Amino acid sequence: MMRSKLDERVLEAVVIDARLAVVEFDGARRWLAAARQGSMEPLAAEVWVFDEDLTRVVLVQHRWRGWVPPGGKVETGETPRMAASRELFEEAGLRAELLPEPAAVAVRSYHPDWPVTLGLSYAAVIDAATPLVAEAGQPVAWMRLDEGWESYFPDDPSRIRQHAAWMAHRVS
């Protein structure tokens, strides 16, 4: 999505959520400020869904990215938060209230041939007994945070664990 396709409401939501994100990776806020001056590549959004004990996270098995949080491209007219909720339902069959502050903002490429883009990660907590419904060809499962998983993004497990620890500290 080029900047011309981002309406002001969506751009404002991106800027606000990037500013409110609990943690920033990859100089994402600086990247966003520069990208706003030119074209914006597709935006991405995902959800880190934790169980109530903050010991497990919902992941989907992408065909070549490995195990990743439910997420994807922000469609035209959607805010990243809306896209995250839509992707969560499409990929895991879950409807969950996203926590008020985004978990993280990062800059990364979702494919070796694609340019880097801004990604916002949101968080939610649900009952682990809630049924997961996988999208066709893309299994979904609870993964323990104290175990590793194969992912195209090697920093994801530690970033997700770090956020779960931050959340646990806030409620204790």
Read off the pLDDT of residues 26-35 as tens digits, 9 standing for 90 and up: 999 999 998 8
Does residue 158 have a pLDDT over 70?
yes
Number of domains in the chain: 1
Distance CA(67)–CA(62), nearest Å, equals 6
State the pLDDT at residue 163.
Answer: 98
pTM of the model: 0.92
Angle, alpha carbons 14-18-20 (nearest 5°): 120
Could you tell me the CA-to-CA distances from 75 to 5, 6, 13, 79 in Å, in that order? 10, 10, 14, 8
State the pLDDT at residue 2.
Answer: 38
Does residue 172 have a pLDDT over 90?
no
Q: Which of 19-23, 24-28, 44-48, 62-66 has the lowest mean pLDDT?
A: 62-66
pLDDT digit string, tens, across residues 101-153: 999 999 998 888 888 889 999 999 999 999 999 999 999 999 999 998 999 99
Name the H helices within the chain: 8-20, 28-35, 80-92, 156-171
- Output the domain CATH number for residue 158: 3.90.79.10
pLDDT digit string, tens, across residues 56-114: 999 999 988 899 999 999 999 899 999 999 999 999 999 999 999 999 999 998 888 88
Strands 56-62 and 117-126: unpaired
Does residue 11 have a pLDDT over 60?
yes
Distance CA(18)–CA(95), nearest Å, equals 23
| Per-residue pLDDT band at 41 (split at 50, 70, 90) | low
Does residue 14 have a pLDDT over 90?
yes
Does residue 5 have a pLDDT over 60?
no
Domain extent for 59: 3-171
